[in-house]
Amino acid sequence: MVKRYKVILFAVVVMLSACASDKGVPAYIRVNSIPVVTEPITQGSNSSNITDAWIYADDQLIGAFELPCDVPVLDLGTKKISIGAGVKINGISSLRAPYPFYKFYETTAELKAGESVDLTPQVSYFDSLQFAFMANFDDISGSKLEASGATDTTIGITNNATKVFEGAGSMIAQLNRDSGFVEFQFVETVNLPKQGTIVYLEFDYKNTHVLSVGLKSYYPSSGTQSTELINLNKSEEWKKVYVSMTRAVSEQINASNYRVYFYANKEAGSVPLEILIDNMKIIY
């Protein structure tokens, strides 16, 4: 009988020791990247620039973490894990949020003290989205963009492999003088919703000079109102940007339609001006 009590006491001590050793020991959620899956015909390219993972456990926010990340979690057990694909709004590091047009990735995971759960999330666009404008610039017959203003701009599509981001072509804009500016815009206007409806412009770009992106709002009786959206610093590598158009569109409450424009200035003696763009979309 004494031996039996000793066995039970030993088991209790072992259990208590195990619980004590696990107390404060987190599990880990590891996420290396979050790729995007698209339907190419209706949603265009899957190019993305997802920088952060917004991680939730049982709908409680754990935090936002720059990718790749290895995130400690103290609340253990079987959890519903939700991950939002975070981006830099307007390319600004201090404006980071889950991109509102990507669905959250969801799964169930068993979180155990001292152990890691490796997740490979994928996200996709919501099915209900509208693509007001989309151009992948693979069709050499037209770019959907045109030169505008008093500018000596050469604009078209290049199929030079060293200048193409992906696919068969990319849009290219160049200046034919040592100094001056390039300005180009959508060939056609687009209709966009107002009243705070979320609207974004997406595109990949590579530029030798600062590139300004703006919105022209057209009024039937009073002409055109131009609003600057962002300025993109020059980049020797291809980058992806998510431009918020919500406020600019909604503030022009009486505008009938809109046109996105681009502008870059070249000072004399600076490097040749060249703007490359690919996979442009307006989504709401």
User: Domain map of the chain by residue range?
Assistant: 25-124, 131-283
Segment 38-48 shows an average pLDDT of 97
pLDDT value at 239 more than 50: yes
The first and second tokens of residue 45, run together, are 């390219």
Q: pLDDT tens digits for 118-150?
A: 999 999 999 999 999 999 999 865 679 999 877
234 three-class SS? coil
8 three-class SS? helix
- Classified by CATH at the fold level, domain 25-124 comes out as Immunoglobulin-like (2.60.40)
Q: pLDDT tens digits for 19-29?
A: 434 568 999 99
Q: pLDDT tens digits for 50-59?
A: 999 999 999 9
Instruction: Estimate to the nearest angstrom the gap between the alpha carbon of 235 and the chain centroid.
Output: 17
Report the half-sphere exposure of 2 (CA within 13 A, side-chain side). 0
What pLDDT is recorded for position 149?
A: 77
What pLDDT is recorded for position 142?
A: 67
Q: What CATH superfamily classification does 131-283 receive?
A: Galactose-binding domain-like (2.60.120.260)
What pLDDT is recorded for position 151?
A: 79
Segment 82-91 shows an average pLDDT of 98
pLDDT value at 73 more than 90: yes
Nearest-Å Rg of the Cα atoms of the chain is: 26
Give the whole-angstrom CA distance, residue 123 versus residue 142. 31
83-97, 98-112, 136-150: least confident range: 136-150
Which amino acid would we find at residue 164? V
Mean pLDDT of the chain: 91
State the pTM of this model: 0.89
Strands (E), 223-268: 223-232, 235-244, 257-266
> Residue 16 burial (CB < 10 Å; 0-12/13-18/19+)?
exposed
From the list 177, 186, 169, 134, the residue with the least C-alpha distance to 276 is 169
